[in-house]
Amino acid sequence: MSSTAEAVKVVAPRPRGGIVQSVNDSLVVARRNLIRMSRIPEMIIFGIIQPVMFVVLFSYVFGGSISVPGSGVSAEGYREFLMAGIFAQTVTFATAGAGAGIADDMHKGLIDRFRSLPMARGAVLTGRTLADLVQTTLTLVVLALVALLVGWRTHEGFFSVLGGFALLLLLGYAFSWIGALIGLSVRTPEAATSGGLIWLFPLTFVSNAFVPSENMPSFLQTIANWNPFSATVQAARELFGNLPPGYPVPDAWPMQNPVLASVLWSVLIVVVFRTLAVRKYRSATA
């Protein structure tokens, strides 16, 4: 018995320190998910087609019909106003994919296999969200190229534009943790997809993404102006230089300080929902 115990001690992998192990395990899980995505290219293709359709439809169908303060009813003016909203919608809609992926791993028992390994508990979820962030980045790059083709332009410096896209990706990463929590809370990937989308529609449409919030009823204006989605959209518009001259900025703190508000909202969402998701993961696999 003693020789067997000694053999087990030699063979069994020794977990490293907490932070080092967590980072390494998260990267390993992220790599596994990226390899899986690359072997199912239709996941990436369909994820790109939908936002491209939104760009084309909104640009050409609504472009000459919606008035934007500062530019009036202008297809070009609305296109520049619109694109930050489409970018933000794209990164947040990736939430459904994150939830469905985690629910699928739970359904197939893969999470139980991870649990049998000497790895950090939160690494499974962190790795998944990091992989989703890479896919979202790829989608955002393609979407930006399509937007340039239909006439969208930026009017600020390179680093300002880069900062706008960084805020969009931070919002997408934050929302992927909401998707992770949903994926752990349902029984099937189909339910995770539905649960990941149903709350996103009011969040994105009761915002300043597609129309100025001043066109809404007063009670909806308050909701839209304090919506974390709206803060990121407003910040991206400022950093891209897509706000028309004389555009009336709503008298609400997030709209007056959109960059800071966007960062604070995203960090808060990550902290809260990562904590809840990891706790749910531990109880679900206990």
DSSP the chain: -HHHHHHHHHHSPPP--HHHHHHHHHHHHHHHHHHHHHH-HHHHHHHHHHHHHHHHHHHHHSTTT-EETTTEE-HHHHHHHHHHHHHHHHHHHHHHHHHHHHHHHHHHTHHHHHHTSSS-TTHHHHHHHHHHHHHHHHHHHHHHHHHHHTT----S-HHHHHHHHHHHHHHHHHHHHHHHHHHHHSSSHHHHHHHHHHTHHHHHHSSSSSS-GGGS-HHHHHHHHT-HHHHHHHHHHHHHT-SPTT----SSHHHHSHHHHHHHHHHHHHHHHHHHHHHHHHHH--
* C-alpha triplet 183, 187, 191: angle, nearest 5°: 65
Q: Which of 115, 110, 155, 134 is nearest to 38 (CA)?
A: 134
* Segment 127-151 mean pLDDT: 90
Q: In this predicted structure, what is the pLDDT of residue 2?
A: 47
The predicted model scores a pTM of 0.85
Inform me whether the pLDDT recorded for 89 exceeds 80. yes
Does 9 score more than 60 pLDDT?
no
Residue 161 has a pLDDT of 95
**Which span out of 10-19, 148-157, 251-260, 272-281 was modeled with the highest average pLDDT?**
251-260
pLDDT at 70: 66
State both tokens at 90. Answer: 């794209």
Work out the average pLDDT over 91-108.
81
In sequence order, what are the residues at sequence separation of 6 or more whose Cβ sits closer than 8 angstroms to the Cβ of residue 231?
254, 255, 258, 261, 262, 265
- The C-alpha atoms of residue 286 and residue 75 are separated, in whole angstroms, by 55
Give the pLDDT confidence score for residue 225 in this predicted structure.
94
Query: In the prediction, which pLDDT does 265 show?
Result: 97
Residue 164 predicted with pLDDT over 90: yes
Query: Per-domain residue ranges for the chain?
Result: 18-284
Answer yes or no: are the C-beta atoms of 170 and 263 closer than 8 Å: yes
**Residue 4, pLDDT above cutoff 70:** no
Residue-wise burial string across 57-84, b where 16 or more C-beta atoms lie within 10 A, e elsewhere: ebbeeebeebebbebeebbebbbbbbbb
Residue 58: HSE in the Cβ half-sphere, 13 Å Cα cutoff: 24
Is the model more confident about 65 or about 163?
A: 163
The more confident residue out of 78 and 62 is 78
Q: Say what the pLDDT of residue 173 is.
A: 95
**pLDDT for residue 61:** 75
Answer with the residue of higher pLDDT: 7 or 232: 232
pLDDT of the residue at 39: 80
Sign of CA dihedral 31, 197, 263, 67: positive
123 pLDDT band (50/70/90 cuts)?
confident
Residue 171 has a pLDDT of 96
* Percentage of the chain modeled with pLDDT above 70: 87
Give the tokens for residue 35: 């390899």
What is the structure's pLDDT at 284?
64
Residue 196 scores a pLDDT above 60: yes
